[in-house]
């Protein structure tokens, strides 16, 4: 049985891991290379780095960071944020990222998925989908979840896969930040609908939420940030718990 993946997510602003609200009032949490190395040693299966820098200088710093991460990590890491052209993706992959994550730019220009997948292969392309449930419809959001679009979660995810996405990272905007659990029902439907792995994001607040996700859906991975960064749920403790619950996970022997 394929092991389920646990993935910490690091927001990076001009070289530092940060935490804030809607990218405002950012607090520095630590060095992303050191934090990434620590998560790797703790048994995280992959890492996601999101560039939230707003300047060209910040982008250059982020590229340098990607090179440093590539030299030190021994687990895959996905990089997203600010990718709007195939050349943007190329610079990150050529700098050592294992995968890139597309979001708003793919919504604006769906052909971007085809171009990046055509150049590098679907296994390098993650399409992130932020969606909000309202009146029984999951509307896809863009611009960091601030702007609603006319796209619907399931049809957009299917189109993204048909264009070459190798994975779908779905964040429920209803659950995000609530620490009340993942959107299990939607994730179950999505993971059964698609032929590629689904990563769940939004709502993790307790070990039981990860258990419920993996035992009640076909989701392949769970992504979270604050519960890991703040030490609320240490990765090794989570992995041991999931193993006891019958969820197949990769555990590093001490």
Q: Residue with structure tokens 């039981």?
A: 208
The kind and range of the H/E element at 139 are: strand 137-142
Q: Helices 184-193 and 207-216, interaxial angle, to 10°?
A: 40
CA torsion sign, 52 to 55 to 61 to 63? Answer: positive
Residues 194, 217: contact at Cβ < 8 Å?
A: no
Closest CA to 155 of 190, 183, 179: 190
Alpha-carbon span 237 to 231, nearest angstrom: 10
Q: Which helix (H) or strand (E) is 224 found in, with range?
A: strand 221-224
Instruction: Respond yes or no: is residue 130 known to be catalytic.
Output: yes
Q: Give, rounded to a whole angstrom, the gap between the first and last alpha carbons of the chain.
A: 23
11: annotated active-site residue: yes
For Cα atoms 75, 78, 80, give the angle at the middle one, nearest 5 degrees: 160
Instruction: Pick the closest to residue 100 from 110, 109, 92, 112 (CA basis).
Output: 92
Whole-Å CA distances, 195 to 2, 186, 216, 217:
15, 16, 18, 14
Q: Which of 11, 51, 88, 98 is catalytic?
A: 11
Q: Which DSSP helix (H) or strand (E) runs through 122?
A: none
Marked catalytic residue, from 45, 51, 88, 130: 130
Active site residues: 11, 130
């Amino acid at each position: 049985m394929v092991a389920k993946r646990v993935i910490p997510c690091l927001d990076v602003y001009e070289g530092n891991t940060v935490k804030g609200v809607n990218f405002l009032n950012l607090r520095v949490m630590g060095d992303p290379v050191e934090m990434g190395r620590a998560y790797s040693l703790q048994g995280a299966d992959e890492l996601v780095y999101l560039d939230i820098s707003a300047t060209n200088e910040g982008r250059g710093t982020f590229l340098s960071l990607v090179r440093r991460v590539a030299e030190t990590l021994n687990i895959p890491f996905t990089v997203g944020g600010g990718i709007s052209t195939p050349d943007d993706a190329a610079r990150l992959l050529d700098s050592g990222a294992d995968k890139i994550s597309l979001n708003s730019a793919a919504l604006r220009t769906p052909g971007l998925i085809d171009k990046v997948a055509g150049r590098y292969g679907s296994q390098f392309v993650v399409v992130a989908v932020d969606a909000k449930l309202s009146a029984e419809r999951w509307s896809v959001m863009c611009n960091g979840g601030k702007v609603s679009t006319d796209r619907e979660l399931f049809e957009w995810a299917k189109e993204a896969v048909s264009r070459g996405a190798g994975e779908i990272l779905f964040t429920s905007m209803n659950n995000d930040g609530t620490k009340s659990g993942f959107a299990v029902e939607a994730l179950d439907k999505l993971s059964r609908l698609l032929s590629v792995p689904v990563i769940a994001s939004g709502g993790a607040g307790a070990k039981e939420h990860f258990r419920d996700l993996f035992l009640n859906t076909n989701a392949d991975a769970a992504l979270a940030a604050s519960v890991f960064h703040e030490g609320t749920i240490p990765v090794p403790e989570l992995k041991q718990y999931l193993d006891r619950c019958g969820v197949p996970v990769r555990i590093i022997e001490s």
